[in-house]
């Protein structure tokens, strides 16, 4: 398949607001992204020709933002509406090996939907993890350094080497990844599974690459500095930081310190990886 045949559904509803830069990232690499409002998948209040079906796409993208204002819990309303309308389509989409990704609010929606971490099935009924309020208690927009720790499972980061550091910014109020399962033993065991099953993709690190680094390197207090995860198949991927904001070097916070550098930003490879995955497999 050619890049232009890779169809990307940039899903939005009220409060989604990182859709333009997410769209731009796919477009710049030659893929064919389309903005799709949730109602176009639900078939509600739409005219003829406006309805869309998930099966027409290869990549489903949940952009960042504040879907429905994040008023109940970040991502909860968007997830509830999706489950009520196109749950089966989504399960099939994932089981067909197509790619699903979410950044920031997108990641929160995916956790609420039960497709991440989704320990024992494609989409579980009740979320098995939570992205809790940051330890600082407030929204924070700051640079974060991510260590790519995935050993090859995640199709969204195949262009990154294991151990590589990437400067990709964070901007959220609820990003502390937790696995609240009642007892410390159960939780520890689940974290162990994430490590054993190569499900952890990015961890916050300091400039030395230390993944135990505390605030501000770990902006929210996530245990094990977890910043991004994939599902068991490796095709569903969510992360709190925003790779779409650093597609080019000129949106890095320190790019003017070294004028003769690459023009590619640290987030670009995420998009390149998933487009290549679709081109090779569909």
Residues with catalytic function? 104, 242, 244
Task: For residue 73, state whether it binds another protein (rule: CB under 8 A).
Answer: no
**Minimum distance, C-beta of residue 117 to another protein, in the bound complex (Å):** 26
**Minimum distance, C-beta of residue 132 to another protein, in the bound complex (Å):** 18
Task: For residue 260, state whether it binds another protein (rule: CB under 8 A).
Answer: no
- What residues from 163 to 182 belong to the interface with another protein (CB under 8 A)? 167, 169, 171
Task: For residue 64, state whether it binds another protein (rule: CB under 8 A).
Answer: yes
Among 207, 209, 261, 264, binds another protein (CB under 8 A): 207
Task: For residue 256, state whether it binds another protein (rule: CB under 8 A).
Answer: yes
DSSP states of the chain as a string?
--GGG-EEEEEE-TTB-SHHHHHHHHHHTT-EEEEEEHHHHHT-S--TT----GGG-SEEEE--B-GGGG-SSTTHHHHHHHHHHHHHHHHHHHHTT-EEEEETHHHHHHHHHT-SS-SSSSS-SS-S-EEEEPTTSS-EEE--EEEE---S--TTSTTS-TT-EEE--EEESEEEEE---SSHHHHHHHHHHHHHTT-EEEEEE-TT--TT--TTTSSS--GGGEEEEE-SSS-EEEESS-GGGGSBGGGSTTGGG-SSS-SB-TTHHHHHHHHHHHHHH-
Among 217, 237, 271, 277, binds another protein (CB under 8 A): 217
Task: For residue 45, state whether it binds another protein (rule: CB under 8 A).
Answer: yes
Task: For residue 151, state whether it binds another protein (rule: CB under 8 A).
Answer: no
Q: Site residues (CB under 8 A) for another protein?
A: 14-15, 17-18, 20-21, 24, 37, 39, 45-47, 50, 64-66, 68-71, 138-143, 145, 167, 169, 171, 206-207, 216-217, 242, 244-247, 250-251, 253-257, 259
């Amino acid at each position: 398949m050619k890049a232009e045949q890779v169809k990307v559904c940039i899903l939005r509803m009220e409060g989604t607001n990182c859709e333009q830069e997410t769209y731009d990232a796919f477009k710049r690499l030659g893929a064919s992204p389309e903005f799709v409002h949730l109602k176009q998948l639900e078939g509600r209040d739409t005219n003829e020709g406006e309805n869309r079906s998930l099966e027409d796409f290869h990549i489903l993208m949940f952009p960042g933002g504040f879907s429905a204002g994040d008023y109940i819990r970040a991502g909860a309303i968007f997830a509830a509406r999706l489950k009520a309308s196109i749950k089966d389509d989504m399960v099939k989409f994932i089981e067909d090996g197509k790619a699903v990704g979410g950044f920031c609010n997108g990641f929160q929606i995916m956790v609420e939907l039960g497709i991440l971490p989704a320990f024992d099935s494609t989409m579980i009924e009740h979320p098995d993890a939570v992205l809790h309020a940051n330890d600082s208690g407030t929204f924070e927009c700051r640079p974060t350094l991510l260590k790519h720790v995935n050993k090859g499972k995640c199709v969204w980061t195949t262009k990154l080497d294991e151990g590589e550091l990437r400067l990709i910014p964070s901007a959220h109020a609820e990003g502390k990844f937790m696995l609240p399962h009642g007892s410390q033993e159960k939780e520890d065991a689940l974290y162990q599974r994430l490590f054993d099953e190569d499900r952890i993709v990015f961890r916050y690190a300091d400039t030395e690459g230390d993944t135990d680094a505390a605030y501000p390197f770990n902006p929210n207090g996530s245990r094990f500095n977890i910043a991004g995860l994939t599902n068991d198949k490796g095709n569903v991927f969510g992360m709190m930081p925003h790779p779409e904001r650093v597609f080019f070097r000129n949106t890095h916070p320190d790019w003017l310190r070294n004028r003769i550098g690459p023009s590619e930003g640290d987030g670009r490879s995420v998009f390149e990886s998933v487009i290549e995955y679709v081109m090779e497999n569909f």
